[in-house]
């Protein structure tokens, strides 16, 4: 999960792409299907069977048109697909709600929803083995606390890992941070939370943190 506005040359985009590259080889990656962080996740998964040098080359190609408004934005993605055909499978779940967001070209399968709330709830529900929250604004924050509610109530009979990528965004040096607020409320699943600036640490946490069964009813 993460913001659509992050450009291809931003640190947040590059880190999210690396997480996708690290996890895509042994997990089915699912993203919100749009540009920005969502594209980065699908890109990393698409290239996860290839070398790190291939990922770097793809990023270089994409950074020729870093912003959604730049001429050649979609053509740069097509150039990556042409340079590296037959990428690994991932899922993109975009929405009609934000009509200005194009679907990125690196998801293998697309499930497009008219209702954004159903889309978000479904995305969170199917990610049994965890969610990575990269940098984003209001929409991403909403998804953080939707996921926290699913974990709190064990809505789907389990609790899933939540990894946060970016100290500056989630635990700022001043003001109220999202991560400390969440930890304070997550007494029963605090062990399933982590925060790091390192894609490698985030990927390792997701691999090592199995989903926890929720409390059983009477």
Residue-wise pLDDT for 118-131, tens only, equals 888 888 888 999 99
Tell me if 51 is assigned to some domain: yes
Tell how far CA 9 is from the center of its chain: 17
Tell me if 166 is assigned to some domain: yes
**Weakest-pLDDT range from 17-21, 95-99, 104-108:** 95-99
Q: Would you state the structure tokens that stand for residue 211, as one six-digit string?
A: 């989903």
Backbone angles phi, psi at 125, to 5 degrees: -65, -35
In Å, what is the CA distance from 139 to each residue of 2, 12, 146, 158, 182?
8, 16, 11, 24, 16
Tell me if 5 is assigned to some domain: no
Q: Would you state the structure tokens that stand for residue 120, as one six-digit string?
A: 């978000």
Average pLDDT of span 141-149 = 91
pLDDT band at 216 (very low <50, low <70, confident <90, very high): low
Tell me if 116 is assigned to some domain: yes
Average pLDDT of span 82-101 = 87
Tell me if 119 is assigned to some domain: yes
| pLDDT beyond 70 at 172 | yes
pLDDT in the model for residue 174: 62
pLDDT in the model for residue 217: 45
Tell me if 218 is assigned to some domain: no
Domain count across the chain: 1
Q: Which domain holds residue 31?
A: 11-213
Tell me if 187 is assigned to some domain: yes
Tell me if 71 is assigned to some domain: yes
pTM comes to 0.92
Indicate the burial class of 54 (C-beta count within 10 angstroms; 0-12, 13-18, 19 or more).
middle
- The CATH number of residue 108's host domain is 3.40.50.450
């Amino acid at each position: 999960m993460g913001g659509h506005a992050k450009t291809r040359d931003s640190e947040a985009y590059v880190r999210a792409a690396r997480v996708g590259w690290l996890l895509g080889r042994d997990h089915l990656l699912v993203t919100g299907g749009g540009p920005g962080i969502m594209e980065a996740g699908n890109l990393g998964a698409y290239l996860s069977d290839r070398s790190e040098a291939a990922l770097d080359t793809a990023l270089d190609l994409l950074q020729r048109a870093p912003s959604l408004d730049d001429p050649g934005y979609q053509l740069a993605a097509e150039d990556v697909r042409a340079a590296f055909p037959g990428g690994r499978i991932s899922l993109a779940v975009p929405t009609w709600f934000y009509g200005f967001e194009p679907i990125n070209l690196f998801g293998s399968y697309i499930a497009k929803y008219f209702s954004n709330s159903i889309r978000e709830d479904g995305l969170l529900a199917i990610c049994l083995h965890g969610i990575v929250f990269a940098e984003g604004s209001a929409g991403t924050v909403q998804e953080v606390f939707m996921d926290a509610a699913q974990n709190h109530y064990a809505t789907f009979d389990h609790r899933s890992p939540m990894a946060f990528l970016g100290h500056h965004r989630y635990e700022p040096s001043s003001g109220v941070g999202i991560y400390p607020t969440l930890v304070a409320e997550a007494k029963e699943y605090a062990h399933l939370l982590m925060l790091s600036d390192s894609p490698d640490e985030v990927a390792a946490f997701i691999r090592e943190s199995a989903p926890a069964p929720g409390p059983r009813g009477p």
